Structure formats: structure tokens, C-alpha cells
Amino acid sequence: MLSLELTESAKKDLKSITRYTKREWGKEQAVAYKAMLDKQFDLLRQNPRMGHQKSEVREGILCVAARQHLIFYQLEDTTIYVLRILHSSMDYARQLQ
């Protein structure tokens, strides 16, 4: 199974998602949503090519949906690099520049 690493931007995204969810819907929901994202990361490790190509943004970027968010990542050798975790309503092309 491949290893998975979050970039600094992805770590910031994850913290922001968790804070927002906790503020709007409470601690339980924040914990549940984080667990869902962690499960999605595990699925990526098991099937790293499950995402869709996002060549319009940059060659080699893949994307997979996780409820209201999109996980953008790249594969390099034996590692999955999570680049960003963005809300589906965001202009992801601009965010990934």
C-alpha cells in the first residue's frame, strides 16, 4: 500500500474544515466529518488511481469527491501527495495555481 502525505496547504485546509464544521454543527459532527475524510484517505491508499484526472488544472493531478469536498492529489513513486482539500463550490483551478 502506498504512503499518503498531506502538503502544508492540505493540512491547513483540513484544520479549516474541522474548525468550520465544529463552529457550525458542533464537535460531534466535526469529528465525524474528519473521520470520513480519513476513511477517504485510506481508500486512496488502497486504490490510488480512483480519482479523475484534472489535466485542465495541471498535468498529473487527480481528484476524488468526499461529500462536500474535493481531494486533489498527485502520485509519485510510492507516495500519494494530497495537495488540497477544497469545498466543491470553490474555484479549484484558481486555488491550485
pTM for the complete prediction?
0.92
Q: What is the pLDDT of residues 25-66, one digit of tens each?
A: 999 999 999 999 999 999 999 999 999 998 788 889 999 999
Return the percentage of the chain with pLDDT > 90, whole number: 84
> Residue 78's closest CA among 28, 3, 7?
3
Angle at 54 between CA 52 and CA 48, to 5 degrees: 40
Select 3-95's CATH number: 3.90.226.10, 3.40.50.1980, 3.50.50.60, 3.30.2310.20. Answer: 3.30.2310.20
Instruction: Taking residues 66-87, report their average pLDDT.
Output: 96
In the chain, what are the domain boundaries?
A: 3-95
